[in-house]
Chain A
């Protein structure tokens, strides 16, 4: 009798899960005039949270990143500076009341804040140049769909002290915010919020911290460092090896960390990129898609090859770094993108990880 009671209760909860799964799709299209703002958005948020806890967040299949940027007339020169630089990754919750038309105002405010912070702090540092300039600018074309908000860039430049005509401004710090295919997050937030969950920074830690504080105070958002675990690194390795390249600029390299005392050991494994591509091609079945089984098989082939030669089980170690001709990623949340063709694809995966971390 007791057992029947338990099963009855389980069936009821199952029905409510089914119901909640079907409503989000319907509510977005069939009730556009429904403006009980609080209820609707809170409901959507609850549904998305419920979806996350009961269903697996990582899809077993994923598309291979396609090569095109959204707008074809995007100036490659403008995005070229995003490549070949090491970026530290953070996930960012949606920004409250952020407006693209106020960028000049934000530049001014952030500039004042940075100067104030630097003056406030430590002892007098002779030679510290307080003549800095902060620039906010939009990055056109860095988005997945039309729904994604525009990416924008923040730069700190040092203004040269010389009153001469050719002032050379050195870029001290760069950070940019973007959102690629962020539909799952965009659905759950209200109009006042701008969703740009992925933040990439290049420059000193202290500058990143100051700018982070300003954003958090001004837009009521929250930054957190985005770490990439071994599971996701192996997905990246498979997806980037799958990308068609005209010529390879770097060898495909993996780095594993062996946890042992007193010091950890690092194992580095380099493969010729064409060999890696050939291995991938032999594993890959469905065109245009990457599945979990294919990723596992790809990695297992590498592990067993290594084991055959060195009798070391790489699968018992932790994958820490993956480096290919498309991009390289480190588990601490550092990324370097080498190929402009797959920039959007790489950012799309990172956006997904950032959204997962926020939720």
Chain B
């Protein structure tokens, strides 16, 4: 993501789990991306644990889920349905990307930077909440089943 060209300063903070230590002074967080590895149940459990520490105001468009590893079906130990349900519960978009593939990574980085710009308020006329409702309306009717 840092390789992408962006008008303002872009900072990425990586963390294995939340909560982040409160002793450090850090700039405002505009977007939280939870990366879930479909090959590992531990990754899902970790994410679920971390979600509890996120302030409710973030869920108005500043949180998104990124599921990786869907390409290698034989290695998956989490069903797609589980992450879809998780994203639905938290009313946040779910993106799929095989982070191991260079091309997909680059595309996803572009997409995330664009989302980040919206969430940070740098795109006039579109707010994080607008973006959220636009993304939600493109999800299929399978949500009705849950």
B81 at the interface (CB under 8 A from A): yes
B57 at the interface (CB under 8 A from A): no
A126 nearest CB across to chain B (Å): 40
Task: Judge whether A316 and B138 touch: CB under 8 Å.
Answer: no
A341 at the interface (CB under 8 A from B): no
A9 nearest CB across to chain B (Å): 8
- Using a CB–CB cutoff of 8 Å, the interface residues on chain B facing chain A are 39-43, 45, 73-81, 130, 133-134, 137-138, 140-142, 145
Task: Judge whether B42 and A58 touch: CB under 8 Å.
Answer: no
User: Which A residues are in CB contact (< 8 Å) with B40?
Assistant: 315-318
The 3 closest A-B pairs by CB, nearest first: A230-B77, A316-B42, A315-B41
A231 at the interface (CB under 8 A from B): yes
A17 at the interface (CB under 8 A from B): yes
Interchain CA distance A205-B80 in the complex, whole Å: 33
Nearest CB to that of A332 among chain B residues? B74
Contacts A229-B75, A231-B76, A331-B74 given; does A6 touch B43 at CB 8 Å: no
- Count chain A CB atoms within 10 A of each CB in B41, B73, B81 and give the residue with the most: B41
Task: Judge whether A56 and B45 touch: CB under 8 Å.
Answer: no
Task: Judge whether A227 and B77 touch: CB under 8 Å.
Answer: no
> 0/1 per residue, A304-327, Cβ < 8 Å to B?
000000000101111100000000
Knowing that A316-B43, A318-B40 touch, tell me 12 more A-B residue pairs with CB under 8 angstroms: A10-B138, A14-B141, A54-B141, A54-B142, A58-B79, A227-B74, A230-B39, A230-B76, A230-B77, A231-B79, A315-B42, A319-B77
- Using a CB–CB cutoff of 8 Å, the interface residues on chain A facing chain B are 3, 6-7, 10, 13-14, 17-18, 54-56, 58, 60, 227-231, 234, 292, 299, 303, 313, 315-319, 331
Interchain CA distance A3-B127 in the complex, whole Å: 13
Task: Judge whether B81 and A3 touch: CB under 8 Å.
Answer: no
Nearest CB to that of A331 among chain B residues? B74
A15 nearest CB across to chain B (Å): 9
User: Which B residues are in CB contact (< 8 Å) with A317?
Assistant: 40
A285 nearest CB across to chain B (Å): 20
| 9 chain-A/chain-B pairs, Cβ below 8 angstroms | A6-B134, A6-B138, A7-B137, A17-B141, A56-B145, A58-B79, A229-B77, A292-B79, A319-B77
User: Which A residues are in CB contact (< 8 Å) with B78?
Assistant: 231
User: Which B residues are in CB contact (< 8 Å) with A292?
Assistant: 79
A118 nearest CB across to chain B (Å): 32
Q: Which of B41, B134, B142 sits near A3, CB closer than 8 Å?
A: B134
Nearest CB to that of B130 among chain A residues? A3
Contacts A3-B134, A315-B40 given; does A55 touch B142 at CB 8 Å: yes
Task: Judge whether A10 and B74 touch: CB under 8 Å.
Answer: no
Interchain CA distance A318-B42 in the complex, whole Å: 10
Nearest CB to that of B74 among chain A residues? A227
Task: Judge whether B75 and A230 touch: CB under 8 Å.
Answer: yes
- Count chain B CB atoms within 10 A of each CB in A18, A60, A231 and give the residue with the most: A231
Contacts A17-B141, A56-B145 given; does A318 touch B81 at CB 8 Å: no
Interchain CA distance A54-B134 in the complex, whole Å: 19
User: Which B residues are in CB contact (< 8 Å) with A14?
Assistant: 141
Task: Judge whether B73 and A229 touch: CB under 8 Å.
Answer: yes
B126 nearest CB across to chain A (Å): 10
User: Which B residues are in CB contact (< 8 Å) with A229?
Assistant: 73-77
Task: Judge whether B142 and A56 touch: CB under 8 Å.
Answer: yes
User: Which A residues are in CB contact (< 8 Å) with B81?
Assistant: 56, 58, 60
Interchain CA distance A6-B133 in the complex, whole Å: 10
Interchain CA distance A58-B79 in the complex, whole Å: 9
User: Which B residues are in CB contact (< 8 Å) with A58?
Assistant: 79, 81
Task: Judge whether B77 and A231 touch: CB under 8 Å.
Answer: yes
Contacts A3-B134, A6-B134, A316-B40 given; does A234 touch B142 at CB 8 Å: no
